Chain A
Amino acid sequence: MLVVDSLTKKVTTPNGELVILNEINMQVKNGQTVAITGASGSGKSTLLAIIAGLDSATSGQVEIDNQRVDQLNEEQRAKLRQDKIGFIFQSFHLIPALTALDNVMLPLELKGRSNAREQAIHLLDRVGLSERYTHRPQQLSGGEQQRVAIARAFAGKPEILFADEPTGNLDQDSGDNIINLLFELNRELGTTLILVTHDQNLASACQRRFKLDHGRISEQVS
């Protein structure tokens, strides 16, 4: 269960104070799929970063499984990320020196799993990259890189997966592919999906849709 309670984010700029997020409230149950949409600059990425514990809010609370994320120290947040959270980024962010397999193994190794290799292979097979274990990110296409990123994100069996524009850099086909994959894994593993997207297809595939507008959030009911 994810609970966001009157979350506000302000930054001071040379032109005075800028309110990026204004009194955001939302609750997401485990296993739900959620889309966050909004115009460019509306604060989607900022919201995501704060919920995931990567950034801090000016005021308000974030709770994941009854744990106050905003009150954790850096060490505890790292633990939280390791145990419960997965990320997918718009520009993939794979580690260039590592092979596809190594990239997927990384979160498992950080957890100290002994069967990291088998699990990673399984996941790569699952995202359809059986032939590409030893390839480096540079040797993969954008869609392939994103699939590796998905495999990596699911490797740690996260309870919540955050994705910031996961299809933003991909063509229609690859994008659809990624969307299908995300939802399949969501169904199989019961992972909560929180997606930031411009993509109407992706948004409408989600169970719940939120829209950010000038720092305020509203849930759209279809």
Chain B
Amino acid sequence: MKQNLMLAVKFLWRELASGELRLLVLSLIVATASLSSIGFLINKINDSMTDHASQLNGAQLTLKSPHVIKAQWLSKADELQLKQAQMRVFPSMLVVGEQFKLAQIKAVSENFPLQGQLMVKRFRLTETELSEAGQTAVQAEKAPPPGSIWLDKRLVDYFHLGKTLQKQEPVEVGEAKFVADGILERVPGQSSSLLRIAPTALINLKDLDKTATVQVGSRIDYIYFFSGSKQALSYFKQWLKPQLQDSQTLIAGIEDVKALNTSLKKAGEYLSLAAILTVFLSSIAIAINTLRYGRSHYKNQAIMLCLGCRENQLLAIEMIKLLLTGIFSALLGIILGFLVYAAIILLINDLITDSGIRFYFKPALLSFFSGLLLLFSISLANLLRLKKIAPVSLIRNENLNTDLQTKLLYVLGLTGPVLIAYLYTGNLKLTLIFYSSILCASLLLYFFAKVLLRRLLSVSAKYHWINRLTLLNLERHRQGALLQITTFSIIFALLIIIFLLRNELLEKWQQQFPEQTPNHFVINIQSYEQQDFKQFLTAQAIKSNGLYPMVRGRLIRLNQQPVKAVIPEQAKNHNALNRELNLSVSSSVPEIQYNPSGQKDLPEISIEQSLARALAIKKGDRLDFQIGDKTIAGIVTEFRTVKWDSFEPNFYIIFSPGIIEHYPMSWMGSFYLAKEDKYKLNKMLARFPGVTIIEVDEVLKEIQLIINKISQAIEVIFLFIMVAGLLILSSSLSSTLESRMYENAVIRTLGASARQLRKCLWVEFTIIALVSAFIAIMLAEFSSYILYQQIFNINFALHPLLWIVVTLLAIFLISGLGLLITNKIYTRTSYQSLT
């Protein structure tokens, strides 16, 4: 074994030094580098988003409860060494002198917030400081000291507290008096689903009792914050979940910021798609090089056998070589991938300043083994072939190059890339569709190219610019030329499509939140004030998409059975069963079309698809909802997909018009407010004291930032695709080098000049380039036509400029690269080539 290892190392060393493994190693490096950098990136983005979400939420884990939680839960958290903070949220009147206003009081414990920053504009208490600075800059704070109250800007404006805030009369909350000495800029926990009524006033938890506002039966939320190590948190979460009551909710990380989550998933999908492409392209490059390697080593292996090497020994040596090559390239690839990832992170650093560039072990390991898998699956045919080597061919001086089971190689070779693509996207369907369409396209193109080439040759033979030598060359290399044309045109087509669609995709993605995406929700608008509210919005020039009616109801029965009894086991804890759902009615949601043949006696229901799937609800099922003390039933007639990241009001359940209007209904809507217009919220609340405003502007800003940054990252990843494409070109061109070298040397000894040879090669390469470019352009235009029409709904137009650019680029790349690579033919003497 040791001796095999030494031999393998020696061979490998020599082969690396001689450069014959260069392209193989490079392709493998590109494959692992793209996989690892994408892996690092996805992990990093996930991490920093979780951080962000924690900062928005004020902690990594938040528990909301309508009453005090069991002391045992808190001691469990202590046991797990989780940091804790608490908050009580309740509505109360603020009184300043004669004026009063309803506010949301948040009483927080000393160490609030655990995560993120509580940003406050503090007012100093001493006269001198006040006269000097008036007010100080915004700074991060913990809980207000006892006796202090910090107020939302809107409250400050309302009470006209202004600059000399602390000189004013005290702010009264219940029976306690506070000194207002801070303006709240940002309070963590505000942008999650916890948010309720603005405006907010923040006090210390120790002062809560003094206010005497909290009595038995009063409306109050108990919020508990936890932070700590990942393991401890997830353990705690698992431990807590089964003990939770229906009224208690756990909020962890980004899971609950639905819009953020959806955006991130999309980013991950784009990145994974880029990964599949790079893997596919590098696999081709690897396959070409392995094929070539196998061909050129057939003779060496026969010699080894002649020298008394056993077959198994030969196999062992080849395996070790392969393994070492794989390890070497994969390690280099991971290093390169890490560098690229680091560069991307630096590029988008304002997104992740918090935690910097982190190394992730899991994606590194995954891409390492993916690299090995890729290499071995593609090389498998080469290894199997070892058994078939006949050393006798050395004596017979037969052609030692042929006997390669290329079909087997293709089939076996595909398993690796397919497996990896599946591993990375987790989407078997997408993977299979991608590979099978590539396969079909290749076959079709192959035959198309065959016909095209034949016609081209027979036509061009009549013209003098293409001489007989070239024709002979192309005839002789027909199989190789066809394979090259097929590969090149697929690569070119893919690159064109990517180039065309990249902008479309990214723009579409970015434009899902245009400038004035609604960033505030308003709920609890009563039916009688609905018209007034609409007028108010128009009068204040606030952009809105209208108001939607809603009724809050709980799903209690499915097909007249208690719902928890008939749904699948794993759905028993589904969120939708534990709370009231927002029910709406279709007359105000214009895109809903009802089946006119539906049952007449019960209203029809359109249900959100994923909810229906989770609860195994089918069309035709009857659903009963409890609204107050009444119930309402309906028949499911439609499934609907809801864009959770649309920042429009979304409903799980929409009824057909008729019955639900008779229930106590309120209205909700969303609207856009720029930061400087936020004072209008005061007017709104003054005019409509009963409505609740939910501010999502911070979350939205985060999402827009993420999308922007990730788009930039994806652009960088496309570079990998380009490099992989170039590798294929040069691999494919140099793989025909050996036979060309020999043939051209023979031709030269017969009297051809270097100039003639070069011209001949140039014509040959240019024909290949032209045919490939032509097929690629047609394929790309056709595919983008379909994609534009089907996916993007954009009017399709041909891209004539692209035709010219691609054709020129193809000639430049193929002929240029080809001549460069085959340059050895002329620099070497014929004697060297012939021996």
For residue A155, give the distance in angstroms from its CB to the closest CB of chain B: 9
Picked from A46, A94, A110, A136, the residue with its CB within 8 Å of the CB of B308 is: A110
Picked from A89, A96, A145, A156, the residue with its CB within 8 Å of the CB of B395 is: A89
| Alpha-carbon distance between A89 and B392 when the two chains are bound, in angstroms | 11
Report the nearest B residue to A112, measured CB to CB.
B3
53-82 of chain A: CB within 8 A of chain B = 54-55, 74-75, 78-82
Q: Contact between B7 and A110 (Cβ–Cβ < 8 Å)?
A: yes
For residue B292, give the distance in angstroms from its CB to the closest CB of chain A: 14
Q: Which of B10-18, B98-106, B451-459, B572-580 touches A? A: B10-18
Picked from A89, A90, A110, the residue with its CB within 8 Å of the CB of B313 is: A110
For residue A165, give the distance in angstroms from its CB to the closest CB of chain B: 9
Interface centre among B3, B6, B311, B312 (most CB of A within 10 A): B3
7-34 of chain B: CB within 8 A of chain A = 7, 10-11, 14-15, 18, 20
| Alpha-carbon distance between A145 and B391 when the two chains are bound, in angstroms | 20
Residues of chain B with a CB closer than 8 A to A164's CB: 395
| Alpha-carbon distance between A58 and B385 when the two chains are bound, in angstroms | 25
Picked from A55, A93, A97, the residue with its CB within 8 Å of the CB of B15 is: A97
Per-residue contact bits, chain A 91-103, to B (CB 8 Å; 1 contact, 0 not): 1011111110010
Residues of chain B with a CB closer than 8 A to A91's CB: 397, 835
Q: Contact between A107 and B395 (Cβ–Cβ < 8 Å)?
A: no
Report the nearest A residue to B299, measured CB to CB.
A93
Q: Contact between B10 and A78 (Cβ–Cβ < 8 Å)?
A: no
| Alpha-carbon distance between A91 and B742 when the two chains are bound, in angstroms | 15
Interface centre among A75, A93, A109 (most CB of B within 10 A): A93
Contact A107:B392 (CB < 8 A) given known A95-B303, A97-B14, A98-B14? no
Q: Is A48 an interface residue (CB 8 A)?
A: yes
| Alpha-carbon distance between A48 and B397 when the two chains are bound, in angstroms | 13
Q: Is B244 an interface residue (CB 8 A)?
A: no
Q: Is B754 an interface residue (CB 8 A)?
A: no
Residues of chain B with a CB closer than 8 A to A87's CB: 306-307, 394
If over half of B's interface residues share one DSSP class (helix, strand or loop), that class is named, otherwise mixed; here it is helix
Q: Contact between B394 and A83 (Cβ–Cβ < 8 Å)?
A: no
For residue A151, give the distance in angstroms from its CB to the closest CB of chain B: 13
Residues of chain A with a CB closer than 8 A to B212's CB: none
Q: Contact between A78 and B310 (Cβ–Cβ < 8 Å)?
A: yes
| Alpha-carbon distance between A119 and B99 when the two chains are bound, in angstroms | 106
| Alpha-carbon distance between A61 and B604 when the two chains are bound, in angstroms | 91
For residue B749, give the distance in angstroms from its CB to the closest CB of chain A: 16
Q: Is B770 an interface residue (CB 8 A)?
A: no
Contact A142:B308 (CB < 8 A) given known A97-B18, A97-B20? no
Picked from A79, A81, A93, the residue with its CB within 8 Å of the CB of B394 is: A93
Q: Contact between A89 and B394 (Cβ–Cβ < 8 Å)?
A: yes
Q: Is B407 an interface residue (CB 8 A)?
A: no
Report the nearest A residue to B309, measured CB to CB.
A110
Picked from B3, B10, B14, B307, the residue with its CB within 8 Å of the CB of A82 is: B307
Report the nearest B residue to A162, measured CB to CB.
B395
Report the nearest B residue to A86, measured CB to CB.
B307
Q: Is B832 an interface residue (CB 8 A)?
A: yes
Residues of chain A with a CB closer than 8 A to B3's CB: 109-110, 112
Residues of chain A with a CB closer than 8 A to B303's CB: 93-95
Q: Is A106 an interface residue (CB 8 A)?
A: yes
For residue B387, give the distance in angstroms from its CB to the closest CB of chain A: 9
Per-residue contact bits, chain B 777-795, to A (CB 8 Å; 1 contact, 0 not): 0000000000000000000
| Alpha-carbon distance between A136 and B3 when the two chains are bound, in angstroms | 23
Picked from B11, B299, B311, B397, the residue with its CB within 8 Å of the CB of A98 is: B11
| Alpha-carbon distance between A169 and B835 when the two chains are bound, in angstroms | 9
| Alpha-carbon distance between A93 and B306 when the two chains are bound, in angstroms | 10
140-199 of chain A: CB within 8 A of chain B = 142, 145, 152, 156, 164, 169
For residue A137, give the distance in angstroms from its CB to the closest CB of chain B: 9
| Alpha-carbon distance between A156 and B307 when the two chains are bound, in angstroms | 9
A109-B6, A110-B7, A110-B304 provided; 5 other pairs, C-beta below 8 A? A45-B396, A75-B310, A85-B308, A102-B14, A138-B832
- Can you name 25 A-B pairs with beta carbons within 8 Å? A45-B395, A45-B396, A45-B397, A46-B396, A48-B395, A54-B392, A54-B394, A55-B395, A74-B311, A75-B312, A78-B311, A83-B308, A89-B394, A94-B303, A96-B18, A96-B300, A97-B15, A106-B7, A109-B6, A110-B3, A110-B307, A110-B309, A136-B18, A142-B835, A169-B835
Q: What 4 A-B pairs have minimum CB-CB distances, sorted nearest first?
A: A82-B308, A81-B308, A54-B392, A55-B392
